[in-house]
Structure 1
Amino acid sequence: MCSDPPSSHVSPGYKLLHQPYQMAGLVDNALMRRTPGSKSMNMFSSQFLSCVKLAVAASLPIMVATPTHASTHGANLTYCSEGSPAGFDPAQYTHEVDFTANTFTIYNRLAEFERGGTKVVPGLAESWEVSPDGRTYTFHLRHNVKFQTTSFFKPTREFDADDVVFTFERMLDSNQPFHRAYPVSFPYFSAMGLDKLIAKIDKVDPYTVKFILNEPSAPFIHNIAMEYASVLSAEYANQLLKAGRPFNINQYPVGTGPFVFESYTKGKTIRFDGNPNYWKPGAVKLSKLTFAITPDPGVRVQKMENGECQVIAYSTSMEASDLAEHRDVAVLSQPGFQMLYVAYNPARKATRHAAIRRALDLAINRDAIVQAMYGGAGVAAMAPIPPTQWPQLPNRKQPVYAPQEARKLLRNKGHFNHFKMVLLAEPVFPSYQGEKSVAEVASGHRMMAEMLRQDWKKIGVDVTVMQYGWQEYADKIRSKNFDAVISGWRGDNGDPDNWFSSLIACGNKASNNITGFCDPQLDKLLDQARVESNAKRRQDDYLRAVKIFDNKKPFSPVSLSLARQPVSDQVTGLTIEPLGYLRFDGVGLRTSIQP
């Protein structure tokens, strides 16, 4: 049921996670907040955004575009997706369902994430440079890039600076003509603070654009590689504006991407043709790409087993294991971008000293927790950032489970006898429960808390586990009335600042520093890294920050989900994307499969 959240809890930009809870334990993705930039997101607002998206999606008609171009390679791939997209204008949305369907099929961005990683590579901009003061980014645009030709739009020119200026000014300036005619919100753009960061955008010449920022921002490149920054056609927008149908930009999309929109039947299919004029040689290996919208995960698995789908949306650990036994299916896996952790309150006597926090960390049996919570779909977290996040940490070892060493640390701090602490577990809401009841999911929260309680009891710590409803929980967080709290985070833009600053920066620079931890030396390094445009110096800043983190231990990383992607063994080139969406550029089939 959709209801308006309290206004104090609304913060746009959350990507609601729909991964089912694993049956080998209840993996609580309610903890995994997909929070853009430095703006926090809570459970009420994610439910609210979902309702908005449902309302928008319900208004979309059957949309058909007659193909006006030749086919590419004759290979036809069907992807069984988990839901209908709310629309095809990426800047309006915040969900992987939307982004898989619209962003990485139809569009490109100035800079893009490499396939299967978070490294930023050239996209529609073939190169860029940053001014010495870090406030001006100059992009040199790619030549000979064609917009897609469809039955509803036939471009008369190629991609150029006008398209970049239109794309960003539409989000930046509420008085821009297209924005006035079609006044929608841009949740990611706003939530990441780009509406305040970008001072102006200058067209230097047809293939050069300058972004002037109000302050230096090293994460800016990662931010504009995100989905909402997909470049639109200014010529197509002007055509829609003159026809009085600007809203069609969300229903009949045009971009420069690898696939051309053909048709969309809500709740059933989305059909694309391979783009024969795509600017990236060899990236389009499919003639046709079909999204067969299949909300039921069990039905998706059946369709894959029957050969009706070559790729399916996420599956549970049990389903992935069953599919792995199927001779025609491969299950790809790698550590994901979702982390569970335990944060310590530095203002409380029990967790005030770094040595005590390190002792608590040493006493956590991560392997046991991962097995209970995830089954085969998780791994122990080794650092404050995932292993797929730049900068990769050299020679990082598996976390040590050393209760005897933990007891020794406590004795050195004068804790010869038991001392007490309160562990707070997050509440659970129906919008996160998937097919499980609230009670079942809550028991997953409780399970992890109880396992931590048992671990810490072994070193002489008497833990009281507390789990409340949302209002009481929020009151406890605001008043810092706890010693430790189980929480979670999910990175969303591939920049390390999205982890470090969000979780451990001082004051209002951090969106999820719920304990109020603040270390001036560490904070200075994070501030420095945030504005450092030199990649090597920036990496060194973060490596030094990790050393301080290990010593101060503001939180204990506990586990990472294991992303699993079932694919037919006929599929080639598919990679798991750390940021949660799927991409079909570079994907092909060993044999031609007819739809």
Structure 2
Amino acid sequence: MNLTRTRTTPQSTTTRTASAVALSAALAVALCSCSSSPDTAGPTTSPSTGTSTTEAAGEPQPGGTLVFARTQSPTSLDLHREITANNAFAIDKVFEPLLAFDAEGEIEPWLASEYSASDDGLVWTFTLRDGVTFSDGSPLTPADVVFSLERHLEIGGPLPLGAPITSVEAQGEDTVVITLSAPYTPFAAELAGFSNGILPADLGGVDEATFFKNPVGTGPFVVDEWTEGGDISFTANDGYWQDGKPYLDEVVYRLVQDDNQLIAQLQAGQVDVIDSVSSANVATLQSNTSLAVSITPGWQVEELFFNTLDEHFQDRDVRRAVSYALDREGIVQATSFGTAEVAGSVLPPSIPGYDGDITTLDYDVDAAKAAIADSAYPDGFSTKLLVASGNDLRAQEAQIIQAQLAEIGITVEIESIDLAAFRERFRAFDYSFMLNGATSDAADPNGIVTFQADPEGGTNGYWTHYENPEVTALITEGRTLPDGDERTEVFSQIQQLIADDAPFIPLSYPSNIKASAATVQGLTVLPNGSVRLQDTWLEQ
């Protein structure tokens, strides 16, 4: 089975701004550099080698049901109020944005056939693609776009529209004009995120609860059956705007919360794809010729997050001591089996603006002891590390962190709880420190630093309550600067300040690892970890 990029979209004329072109070029360079580095796991598969999509010889075969096992089940499909992958990667099968990014992270027209910006970057014009309808048969109109973006602006949510939008206006039968009060470089990248999918105006005349239980979108699939917190099934949108797609009749997201069960069910043929593959299981799966494994660069960072409201971790010296005490290289070697890269920056290498030369608080036990001695807790203390159960990687990381922090007098109790409770706890700031991952939703450095370090970013600094006025000011500046050396330098400063303050400690840059039956073709893995399924088909 070959792994090649197979997704095609209808031909269109694309008008891009200079910043969008520069962004795409920068990302292409970043991805090329990342995948070719001897220290980074490049794309690999079993039984063949290639990129992030799968294709077999011959024409796609329509029909069939794809059973996709996921460790998290959707609890809400309201794209403006949700952020976690359990919801986002179901939402993006139903709703689609004006722009999208492909497997290489490059921005491309989607529901818009073309787009452009004025020379001053203030007026953005989008032409809607001909022939797009919602799953109920109603046509996509500029009014739907206006309603959707204005709803997002009103709600805000954890992934708010950060651009200084002054108006969203419909013009004629196929044009939307968005006006900004100031230049905003990440605008195109943010519009490509799942949270900017387009809804029918006024939700088709029903209330929110009714609409999001059985949502209407332009995406390739339609919700069929859904048990909140359990499985969800989708049927093909017969009126999808990409001719002949989707190929599948049905997609079922099956909840399987344990890493070992994921592997067992895939090997037994009970599921066709698993979304989460423990790095320890990669070699075993690659040796099975009836399966395929895809390993591609992503926009993820595995991190240790501190609740800076906690009595111990509000102390900057304590956080710095922890950073010095952790042998990140050893942690990655012990847990990733060559599928991840040691992290230093809060930005992953595949995002433009990443700086691999910042000074980080690397493993140094003497420096760790000196930092803890300078803190308010020179004799150490006891604390709890919160992790979600069922994740082998984080269980291993937690044990190593526990042992290494004991060397500087910090006694760690590992608190492992189920995923739903884990989310509730950290969102309520009911934790001391935790292991979690961060994923950028945009091919721009602003996305992840806003998410984690801007107090107005919608998540209270990824629920760490981190705030540094200098960092906040630089983030604001970075949004308005055009792509180029000056903007890159601003994001380098941001990365350095965050590394110095250590509100979270980047541990590794994981790869996107998916596994499937060899009969599954055209599976497109995006850099944010989502999977496009309109091109997927089952070899009979």
| TMscore range, shorter length | 0.5 to 0.7
Which SS does the other structure have where 1:261 is aligned? strand
Match of 2:438 in 1: 490
Amino acid at match of 1:263: D
Match of 2:188 in 1: 221
After the TM superposition, which residues 577-592 of structure 1 pair with which residues of structure 2 at under 5 Å, given as runs?
577-589=526-538, 591=539
Match of 2:491 among 536, 539, 542: 542
Please say if 1:324 is aligned against 2:273.
no
C-alpha root-mean-square deviation of aligned residues, in Å?
5.1
Deviation at 1:531, TM superposition (A): 2.2
Deviation at 1:507, TM superposition (A): 9.6
- CA deviation vs aligned residue, 1:433-455 (integer Å, no higher than 9, x gap): 3489xxx989964640431454x
Mean alpha-carbon deviation: is it higher for 372-381 or for 501-510? 501-510
Cα distance in 1 for residues equivalent to 2:81 and 2:382? 35
Please say if 1:569 is aligned against 2:532.
no
Cα distance in 1 for residues equivalent to 2:380 and 2:119? 49
Cα distance in 2 for residues equivalent to 1:93 and 1:519? 27
Match of 1:100 in 2: 89
Pair 1:84–1:491, CA change in 2 (3 A): closer
Cα distance in 2 for residues equivalent to 1:108 and 1:425? 43
Match of 1:273 in 2: 236
Cα distance in 1 for residues equivalent to 2:209 and 2:503? 47
Amino acid at match of 2:126: H
Pair 1:468–1:246, CA change in 2 (3 A): closer
Cα distance in 2 for residues equivalent to 1:154 and 1:409? 62
Match of 2:124 in 1: 138
Aligned residues of 2:91 and 2:194 also touching (Cα < 8 A): no
Aligned residues of 2:81 and 2:157 also touching (Cα < 8 A): no
Match of 1:311 among 258, 262, 273: 273
Match of 1:428 in 2: 386
Which SS does the other structure have where 1:206 is aligned? coil
After the TM superposition, which residues 341-352 of structure 1 pair with which residues of structure 2 at under 5 Å, given as runs?
341=304
Please say if 1:286 is aligned against 2:247.
yes
Which SS does the other structure have where 2:525 is aligned? coil
Pair 1:233–1:79, CA change in 2 (3 A): same
- CA deviation vs aligned residue, 1:521-570 (integer Å, no higher than 9, x gap): x6554331122254665334324544666788776533344442111223
Match of 2:109 in 1: 122
Aligned residues of 1:426 and 1:445 also touching (Cα < 8 A): no
Pair 1:288–1:142, CA change in 2 (3 A): same
Cα distance in 1 for residues equivalent to 2:182 and 2:501? 30
Deviation at 1:248, TM superposition (A): 4.7
Please say if 1:370 is aligned against 2:329.
no
Match of 2:24 in 1: none
Aligned residues of 1:329 and 1:566 also touching (Cα < 8 A): yes
Match of 2:173 in 1: 206
Match of 1:167 in 2: 148
Aligned residues of 1:109 and 1:231 also touching (Cα < 8 A): yes
Pair 1:172–1:420, CA change in 2 (3 A): closer
Pair 1:286–1:493, CA change in 2 (3 A): same
Cα distance in 2 for residues equivalent to 1:533 and 1:428? 40
Match of 2:301 in 1: 338
Amino acid at match of 2:343: A
Which SS does the other structure have where 2:285 is aligned? helix
Which SS does the other structure have where 1:146 is aligned? coil
Pair 1:288–1:196, CA change in 2 (3 A): same
Unaligned runs of 5+ in 1: 1-71, 174-185, 455-461
- CA deviation vs aligned residue, 1:55-88 (integer Å, no higher than 9, x gap): xxxxxxxxxxxxxxxxx84253513333654465
Please say if 1:111 is aligned against 2:111.
no
Deviation at 1:291, TM superposition (A): 1.0
Please say if 1:451 is aligned against 2:404.
yes
Match of 1:261 in 2: 222
Cα distance in 2 for residues equivalent to 1:172 and 1:401? 41
Which SS does the other structure have where 2:479 is aligned? helix
Cα distance in 2 for residues equivalent to 1:531 and 1:192? 19
Please say if 1:234 is aligned against 2:180.
no
Pair 1:524–1:584, CA change in 2 (3 A): same
Aligned residues of 2:222 and 2:237 also touching (Cα < 8 A): no
Cα distance in 1 for residues equivalent to 2:231 and 2:491? 46
Pair 1:315–1:203, CA change in 2 (3 A): same
Amino acid at match of 2:301: Q
Deviation at 1:144, TM superposition (A): 0.9
Deviation at 1:399, TM superposition (A): 8.2
Which SS does the other structure have where 1:384 is aligned? coil
Pair 1:342–1:162, CA change in 2 (3 A): closer
Cα distance in 2 for residues equivalent to 1:273 and 1:317? 33
- CA deviation vs aligned residue, 1:396-445 (integer Å, no higher than 9, x gap): 69989775xx869999x9x9xxx94757855437xx33489xxx989964
Cα distance in 2 for residues equivalent to 1:524 and 1:218? 16
Deviation at 1:498, TM superposition (A): 3.5
Aligned residues of 2:233 and 2:251 also touching (Cα < 8 A): yes
Aligned residues of 1:423 and 1:449 also touching (Cα < 8 A): no
Match of 2:66 in 1: 78
Amino acid at match of 1:144: D
Cα distance in 2 for residues equivalent to 1:321 and 1:310? 18
Deviation at 1:574, TM superposition (A): 2.4
Match of 2:352 in 1: 390
Amino acid at match of 2:133: F
- TM-score for both structures, normalised by structure 2: 0.66
- CA deviation vs aligned residue, 1:12-33 (integer Å, no higher than 9, x gap): xxxxxxxxxxxxxxxxxxxxxx
Please say if 1:464 is aligned against 2:419.
no
- TM-score for both structures, normalised by structure 1: 0.61
Match of 2:21 in 1: none
Which SS does the other structure have where 1:558 is aligned? strand
Unaligned runs of 5+ in 2: 1-59, 416-421
Which SS does the other structure have where 1:511 is aligned? helix
Aligned residues of 2:398 and 2:414 also touching (Cα < 8 A): no
- CA deviation vs aligned residue, 1:572-593 (integer Å, no higher than 9, x gap): 332433434332133344x3x3
Pair 1:98–1:513, CA change in 2 (3 A): closer
Aligned residues of 1:426 and 1:467 also touching (Cα < 8 A): yes
Amino acid at match of 1:305: Q
Cα distance in 2 for residues equivalent to 1:90 and 1:514? 23
Question: Percent identity over the alignment?
Answer: 18
After the TM superposition, which residues 37-48 of structure 1 pair with which residues of structure 2 at under 5 Å, given as runs?
none
Aligned residues of 1:77 and 1:290 also touching (Cα < 8 A): yes
Aligned residues of 2:291 and 2:516 also touching (Cα < 8 A): yes
Deviation at 1:368, TM superposition (A): 1.8
Pair 1:399–1:544, CA change in 2 (3 A): closer
Deviation at 1:383, TM superposition (A): 2.4
Mean alpha-carbon deviation: is it higher for 201-210 or for 244-253? 244-253
